[in-house]
A and B are shown apart, each in its own frame.
Chain A
Amino acid sequence: MSARKPIELRQKSVLAGLLAAPTLFLAVFFAGPLGLMFIYSWLEPGLYGGVEWTFYDLSYGRIFGWADTRYEKFDPVYLEIFLRSVVLALQTSFFCLLICYPAAFWVSRLGERAKSLCLFLITLPFFVSLVVRLFAWVLLLRPTGLINQFLIGLGLIDTPLEIIFTETAVVIGMVYVFIPFMFLPLYASVEKLDASLIEASGDLGATRLQTFRKVVLPLTLPGIIGGSIIVFIPSLGNFIVPSLLGGAKVVMTGNLIEQQFLSARNWPFGAALGMTVMASVLLLLVVYVRLLGRDEMPAARIRSSEGG
Chain B
Amino acid sequence: MAPLLEIRNATRHFATQGGAPVTALDGLSLTVADNEFVTLLGPSGCGKTTLLRAISGFEDLDSGDILIEGTSILDRPAHARPVNTVFQNYALFPHMNVARNVGYSLEVAGVSGAERARRVAEALELVGLGGYGERSVRQLSGGQQQRVALARAIVARPRLLLLDEPLSALDRNLRQRMQEELKQLQHGLGISFVFVTHDQEEALTMSDRIVVLDGGRIQQLGPPEDIYFRPENAFVARFVGESNLVTAHVLSRSGEEGLLEVAGGARLVLSGDRVVPGIDATLLFRPESVSVASGPEAAASEPGAAGLSLAGRLTQSSFTGSDYRLEIDVPGVGPLKATVRHLAQSSSGGLAPGEPVALHVPSAAIHVLAGPPA
CB distance from B143 to the nearest CB of A (A): 18
- Determine whether A299 belongs to the interface, using a CB cutoff of 8 Å to chain B: yes
Q: Are B57 and A219 in contact (CB under 8 A)?
A: no
Indicate if the CB atoms of B135 and A204 lie closer than 8 Å.
no
Interface footprint category on A: 20 to 34
Residues from chain A with Cβ under 8 Å of B80 in the complex: 205
Q: Whole-angstrom distance between the alpha carbons of A204 and B97 in the complex?
A: 16
Q: A204-B104, A215-B93, A218-B95 are in contact. Are A199 and B87 (CB under 8 A)?
A: yes
- Contact call A196/B104, Cβ cutoff below 8 A: no
Q: Are A299 and B139 in contact (CB under 8 A)?
A: yes
CB-based contact B94/A203 at 8 Å: no
- Decide if A194 touches B91 in the complex (CB within 8 Å): yes
Residues on A with beta carbons closer than 8 Å to the beta carbon of B108: 201, 204-207, 210, 214
Chain B window 84-114, contacts with chain A (Cβ cutoff 8 Å), 1 for yes, 0 for no: 1101010111110100000011011100000
Q: Are B94 and A219 in contact (CB under 8 A)?
A: yes
Question: In the complex, what distance in Å separates the CA atom of A268 from the CA atom of B2?
Answer: 85
Q: Contact between B138 and A299 (Cβ–Cβ < 8 Å)? A: yes
Q: Is B152 a contact partner of A204 (Cβ separation < 8 A)?
A: yes
**A197 sits at the interface (CB 8 A):** yes
A139 within 8 A of B: no
> Is the pair A205, B105 in contact by a Cβ cutoff of 8 Å?
yes
CB distance from A120 to the nearest CB of B (A): 23
- Please determine whether A200 and B91 come into contact, CB atoms closer than 8 angstroms: yes
Cβ-defined contact, B97 with A298, below 8 A: yes
Say whether A15 faces chain B, with CB atoms less than 8 Å apart. no
| B: interface residue count bin | 20 to 34
- Of the listed residues B85, B91, B107, the one surrounded by the most CB atoms of chain A closer than 10 A to its CB is B91
Q: B91, A197: Cβ atoms under 8 Å?
A: yes
The contact string, 1 if C-beta is below 8 Å from chain B, for chain A 177-216, is 0000000000000000010110111111111001000110
Which residues of A sit under 8 angstroms from B84, Cβ to Cβ?
203-204
Q: Is residue A302 within 8 Å, beta carbon to beta carbon, of the partner chain?
A: yes
Interface membership of chain B positions 109-124, coded 1 if the CB is closer than 8 angstroms to chain A and 0 otherwise: 1000000000000000
- Give 1 or 0 for each of B66-86: 1 = CB within 8 Å of chain A CB: 000000000001111001110
Partner of B136, one of A196, A210, A219, A298: A298
Complex Cα spacing A303 to B94, Å: 16
- CB contacts (< 8 Å) of B135 on chain A: these are 302
Q: Do the beta carbons of B136 and A205 come within 8 Å of each other?
A: no
Q: Which chain B residues lie closer than 8 Å to A201 at the CB level?
A: 93, 104, 108
Q: Which chain A residues have a beta carbon within 8 Å of chain B's beta carbons?
A: 194, 196-197, 199-207, 210, 214-215, 218-219, 295, 298-299, 302-303
A-B contact pairs, 30 of them (CB 8 A): A194-B91, A196-B87, A197-B91, A199-B58, A199-B78, A199-B87, A200-B91, A200-B92, A201-B93, A201-B104, A202-B57, A203-B58, A203-B78, A203-B83, A203-B84, A204-B104, A204-B153, A204-B156, A205-B109, A205-B156, A206-B79, A206-B104, A207-B79, A214-B104, A218-B95, A219-B94, A295-B95, A302-B134, A302-B135, A303-B139
Q: Contacts A196-B87, A203-B84 given; 5 further ones with Cβ under 8 A?
A: A199-B58, A199-B87, A205-B80, A206-B108, A295-B95
Interface residues of B (CB under 8 A from A): 56-58, 77-80, 83-85, 87, 89, 91-95, 97, 104-105, 107-109, 134-136, 138-139, 152-153, 156
The 8 closest A-B pairs by CB, nearest first: A200-B91, A204-B105, A206-B108, A196-B91, A202-B78, A299-B136, A202-B79, A203-B85
